Chains A and B, each alone.
Chain A
Amino acid sequence: MGQTINMQQMEQKLRKADRKQSRLYLFCNFMALMIISAYSALMLSPTVQKVFPEGGDSAKQMYMIFVMTLVGCVVFTIYAMGLFFRHKSGQLGVLMALGASRKRLAPGLFREVILLSGMSAIAGTAAGFPFVWMIWHMFRLILVDSSEMKLTFDFRCLFVSLLFLLLVVGFACLTAWRYLKRTNIMEVIREEHINEPVKELGRWCGPAGFLVILAGAVLGYGAPWACHVWFSMYAPEWVNIFYAPVFVGLYMVMLHTVVHGWKSHRKNPYKNIISRSMMKFQGKQTVNNLLVVTLLIAGGCFAVFYLPTNGVSALIRYASLPYDYFYKYQADQDIPGREEVEALGRKYGLTFKDWKECDYVTLGMGGNSMIFEEDGLRYHTEYVPMQGEARVLSEDACRTLTGQEVDVEPGTYLNLTNQEETSLSVNESAKGFTNMTTRKELATEFAGFLHYDLLVDEISCCVLDNEDYAAISEGLTDEWRGRFVEFNVDGKDSYPFANAFYHLFVSSFDESCERSAYYDRVQKIREDEAGKEYWADKDDIAIISYELSDSFMFRQLWVYQPDFRILNQNDYLRNMAVMFMMFLFIFIVCLLTALVVCYTRCQSIALNNRYIFDDLKKLGASPAFLDKEVRSQCNNVFKVPSLVGMFSMFLLFSMILYANDGRVLREEQVAMGVCLVILGVIGIIIYAVYRSTVKAIKEQLGI
C-alpha cells in the first residue's frame, strides 16, 4: 500500500518533477529583476546623478536605453512565463479533464506562481546591488578610478524594482487566472503544441524594411532640424514619433527573417525548409523577440559608441593643440607669474620654451538672441546689444599669441573658432561691443573667422583693430581684464608638474572666479538691470566649487579651466570616468539582456519543437542533419538581430556625424574605426554565446 497523498502533496510532487521547466522561468525572472535593479540603482545613484546634467543629452540617452532595457526584460520575462505555462497547461488540462474544478486548482497554481515569481524576483532585486557593485568596482580596479567613482546608492531606486516585481507577480497571476478561466479543456491540454503562425508578407518586406528603417532614421533625425528652420521652434518631445518608421522597418526585416530567411531558395527550395517552417509556425513570438533583441543590441551599441566618439575626438584635440600649456586668468587675481612657474618646472626637471602671453578684455557683445514664447518651444530672433560676454584681443595680442598674420579693419571684428569651424560659441551677428565699466559702446561688423583651437571655449572670443581695442577697453576695471599665457616644454613633459601647477593655479584664484563658464556676467547685469531673475543664479549647472577641482564637473565647467595637454590626456578617462563607466555598464546590461532573450527564444524553439526533432530522428535524420537544423534555428535568432542592431546603429552614428556639419572629420573617422573594432568584439561575444546555446539545446534534444 502506498502512502496516501492529498491535493497539496500531489501538487508538490508535480512541482518537483517540473523543476527543469521552472528553472528557465526562475532564471529569466531573476535576470530581469537583477538587470532592472542594477540599472536603476546605478542610474539613480548620487554618483551618477551628480555627473549627468539633468535634462542633458547624456542623461536622456541613459533614460531612453533604460526604457528599452525595461521593455526587453518585460518581453523575456513574459515569454519565459508563457513557456512555463505552456508546459504547465498540459498538467492543468489533465487535472481539469479528470474533474478538478477551477476552485480546486486555483490555490495550488497561484501558490506556485507567486512563490516562483516572487522568490526569483526578490532574489534578483537583491542580487542587483552586488551585481552593480561588483561591475563598478571591477571598472575601478581595472579601468579607471577617481574620487567621483565612489559608488553610493539612493535606495529609492528600489521603487523601480518593486514596480517591476509587482508587474511580474501580477502578470503571472493574471496568466494563471486566464488559464483557469478557459473552458476548452482540450486547448489547455494541447497548448504546448499550438502554433502561433505570423501573418506573412511577400519577399519584398525585408528589403523594403531596410528602406523604411533608413527613411525613419532620416525623418527622425531631420524633424528637429525642420522645426528649427521652418517653424522657428525647438522640437517638442512628440517629434520623436518620426522615428516610428524605424520600428516598422525593423519589424518587416525580422518578419522576413522568420518567414523567408535571407538566403535564396530558388535553386534548392527544400534547403532549410524544416528550420524555416519551425520558425514560421512560432512566428509571432519569434518576430517580437527578434525585434526586442535588435533594439537592445542597438541600444547597447549606442551606449558603447559614446566612449570612442567622445574619447577619440577629445584625445585627438589634446594631441593637436599647438602648445603644451595654455591658461587664462582675470587681471585682479594673484596668479603665479612666469618666474614662479619656471621655478616650479625646475623642481620637476623641466625647462620651457615658446613662452607667450598677452592681455585681453571681457566686453559685452551684441548678438541675435532667441526669445522664447510662452510655450517654451517657439521663438523669434531679436538683436540684443549686450547679449553676453566676449573675450576680446587686439590685433597685436592675437598675432603674439597665435603667430598668425592678423589684420582687422577698424569697425569690424574677427571671431575665433576651431580648425573644423564646429565651435558653438561663434557670434557672427554682433553689431557692437560694450565696455561693462563705462558702458561705452563700439559699433562693429563681423568680418570673418580666425582659427585657433586654444581660444575656443564656451565664451566667444574676438579680435579687434588695435585702435578700436584701445578705445573700447579704456576705463575697464581689472575684473573685466585678463591675460592669456601659453608655453611649451623643452623636451619631455611631466605629469606630476602639470598636476602640481594645475592645483597651484586653481588655488591662486579667489571666490569671485569660482563660477561656471555658463555663468555669463554680462547677462547677469542685463537681467538685474531689467529686474529679471538670472537663470544661472538658481541652476546647478552654474555652480562649481574649488574643493572639487579634480572632479569631472569642475574641469568641464570652470570658466578659467586651463588646457594642460599632459594633464588632460592622462586625466581624461578619470575625469569622464563616471559617464564612460555608466555607458559601459549600460552596454553590458543591454548585451546581457539581449543574450538572455536569444537564449530563452532558442530554448523555447527547442522545447516547442522537441516532437519534430523526435519525428525527424524516427524518419532517419542523421545527427549531422539535426545539428544543422538546430544551428539554423539559433543562427536566425542570434545573427540577424545582432547584425541589424549593430550596423543600423553604426550607420545612424555615421549619419549623425556627417549630418552635424556635412562632413566626417579626421577624429570622427578614427572614432568610427574604433566603433567597428568594438562591433567586432561584440560579434565575438555573441558568437560565443550562440555556440554555447547550440550546445545546450543539442544536449536537451539528445542530438
Chain B
Amino acid sequence: MVIADTISENIEKKVAVSFWQKKEETEIMLYIEDLYKAYETGKNKYQVLKGIGFHVAQGEFVAVMGPSGSGKTTLLNCISCYIPFDKGNIKLGGVALAGMDEDALARVRNTKIGFVFQDFMLLDGLTVRENILVPRIVQGEVEAEAEKLADQLADLFGIAHILNKYPAEISGGEKQRTAVARSLINNPLIILADEPTGNLDSKSGRAVIETFIHAREKMGATIFMVTHDSFAASFCDRVILLKDGKIYRQLEKREERSVFQDQLLDAIKEMSSM
C-alpha cells in the first residue's frame, strides 16, 4: 500500500487543483442507445454488440465485465471513436458522435476523452513528462500551464521522481500511472480504461485503481472501465455485466466493497452457468 498511501498524501498536499472544477454541463455524461457492431472476416460476419444501451452519470465510476468475446473492448473502442460502429447512438456530454467527421472525432478523442490502455501505450522515445503532455502537444504548443499541470498530476500519482525517465526505465505500475496522468491532462469529460490493471501485479493494480478513485473524488472525473478483475471492479459504483454482446445485468454498489465483490462473483458465476 506504499504507493497508494503516497498518492493519498500527495492529494492532501496538492488539492489546489482549481482547474478540476466539477463539470456542470449535464447529469448524464455518457449515453449509449441500441448500439450494434459486427466484424467481418472473409465471408463470415460476427455480430459483437447486439443493441446495447445504458448511460453513465457525471462523476460515476462504472466497470464493464464479461467473459472473453462478450464485446467489452469493442464497446469501449466504439465509445472512444477508435472503431466505427454500425448502428445506434453514442452521446458524450450530450453530443452525439455519429456523423462527426474525422477532424471532429479527433478533437473529441483529444479533449473529451482520456484513454488508458491495458498495455500503457506510452511512446518509447519520450520521457514520462513528455508522455503525459502528448495530448497537449498534438493540440499545438505546450504552454507553461500545461507543464505545471503535468507536474501536479505526476505529484498526485507519485511519479514525480521519474518525470525525466523513459518508459523503458520505469516499472509497469509507474507506466500505467503515467498513462492515467496522460488521460487527465486535457481535463476530459470521461476516462475510458481498457483493463488498466491487466498487465500489472496486484500491488501496482491497486495503486492504479486508487488513482482513478482519487481522480473521481478530487477532480470529479467520470470513469468507464473494462475489466476482468472483480477486485478492481468492486471499487466502482456500478458494474455492467455483458454476455454475447448484450447487457446481462447491472449491479450497483450499495454495501461494503468486499460484499460488492462477492455479489459480483456470484453474478458472474450465475452468468457463466446460463
Contacts and interface: CB of A to CB of B under 8 A. Distances in A.
A4 B113 CA distance: 24
A97 B115 CA distance: 8
B110 A102 contact: no
A178 interface: no
B5 interface: no
A264 to B, nearest CB: 31
B153 to A, nearest CB: 14
A99 interface: yes
Contact of A10 (B107, B130, B147): B130
A90 B80 CA distance: 17
Contacts of A14: 123, 125-126
Contacts of A94: 121, 123, 134
Contacts of A55: none
A220 to B, nearest CB: 35
Interface string B129-148: 11001110111111110011
B135 A99 contact: yes
Interface in B106-131: 106-111, 113, 115, 117, 121, 123-127, 129-130
B26 interface: no
A18 to B, nearest CB: 7
Interface in A84-108: 90-91, 94-104
A104 B138 contact: yes
Contacts of A2: 127, 129-130, 147, 163-164
B142 A99 contact: no
A422 interface: no
Interface residues of B, number: 43
A185 B115 CA distance: 13
A95 B130 contact: no
A99 B138 contact: yes
A96 B134 CA distance: 11
A17 B109 CA distance: 26
Contact of B77 (A17, A103, A104, A186): A186
B126 A101 contact: no
A51 to B, nearest CB: 53
A18 B115 contact: no
A100 B135 CA distance: 8
Contacts of B115: 97-98
A185 B192 CA distance: 15
Interface string B91-109: 0000000000011001111
Given A91-B123, A186-B77, A98 B135 contact: yes
A619 interface: no
A97 B109 contact: yes
Interface residues of A, number: 32
21 contacts: A1-B148, A2-B164, A5-B142, A6-B140, A7-B140, A15-B125, A16-B125, A97-B121, A98-B109, A99-B109, A99-B111, A99-B113, A100-B138, A101-B106, A183-B84, A184-B82, A184-B84, A185-B77, A185-B82, A185-B83, A186-B77
A10 B124 CA distance: 12
A91 B124 CA distance: 9
Contacts of A13: 125-126, 130
Given A13-B126, A95-B134, A100 B110 contact: yes
Given A98-B115, A101-B106, A4 B84 contact: no
A6 B142 contact: yes
A101 B80 contact: no
A7 B83 contact: no
A189 interface: yes
Contacts of A6: 137, 140-142
Nearest to A12: B125
Nearest to B84: A183
A100 to B, nearest CB: 4
Interface string B41-83: 0000000000000000000000000000000000001001111
Given A97-B82, A98-B110, 8 more contacts: A1-B148, A2-B164, A5-B130, A96-B106, A98-B135, A98-B138, A99-B186, A101-B103
A1 B110 contact: no
A14 B107 CA distance: 23
Nearest to A7: B137
Nearest to A9: B137
Interface in A11-30: 13-18
Closest 3 CB pairs of A and B: A99-B110, A17-B125, A101-B106
Contacts of B123: 14, 91, 94-95
Interface in B17-58: none
B71 to A, nearest CB: 14
Contacts, number: 104
Contacts of B244: none
B182 interface: yes
Contacts of A98: 109-110, 115, 134-135, 138, 182
A23 to B, nearest CB: 15
Nearest to A15: B125
A10 B134 contact: yes
Nearest to A17: B125
A7 B121 contact: no
Interface of A: 1-2, 4-7, 10, 13-18, 90-91, 94-104, 183-187, 189
Nearest to B104: A101
A684 to B, nearest CB: 40
Contacts of B135: 98-99
Contacts of A184: 82-84
B151 interface: yes
Nearest to B83: A184
Contacts of B102: 101-102, 183
Residue among A10, A90, A98, A187 with most chain B CB within 10 A: A98
A186 B37 CA distance: 15
Nearest to A13: B125
Contacts of A90: 121
A4 B141 CA distance: 8
Contacts of B82: 97, 184-186
A17 B167 CA distance: 12
A10 B137 contact: yes
B14 to A, nearest CB: 16
A99 to B, nearest CB: 2
Contacts of B81: 185
B240 to A, nearest CB: 21
A91 B140 CA distance: 18
Contacts of A96: 106, 109
A17 B125 CA distance: 5
A298 B91 CA distance: 61
Contacts of A186: 77, 82-83
Given A5-B137, A10-B130, A13-B126, A97 B80 contact: yes
Contacts of B151: 1
A306 B17 CA distance: 80
Contacts of B108: 99
B247 to A, nearest CB: 22
Interface in B159-173: 163-164
B106 A99 contact: yes
Contacts of A5: 130, 133, 137, 142
A17 B124 contact: yes
B91 to A, nearest CB: 19
Residue among B82, B124, B163 with most chain A CB within 10 A: B82
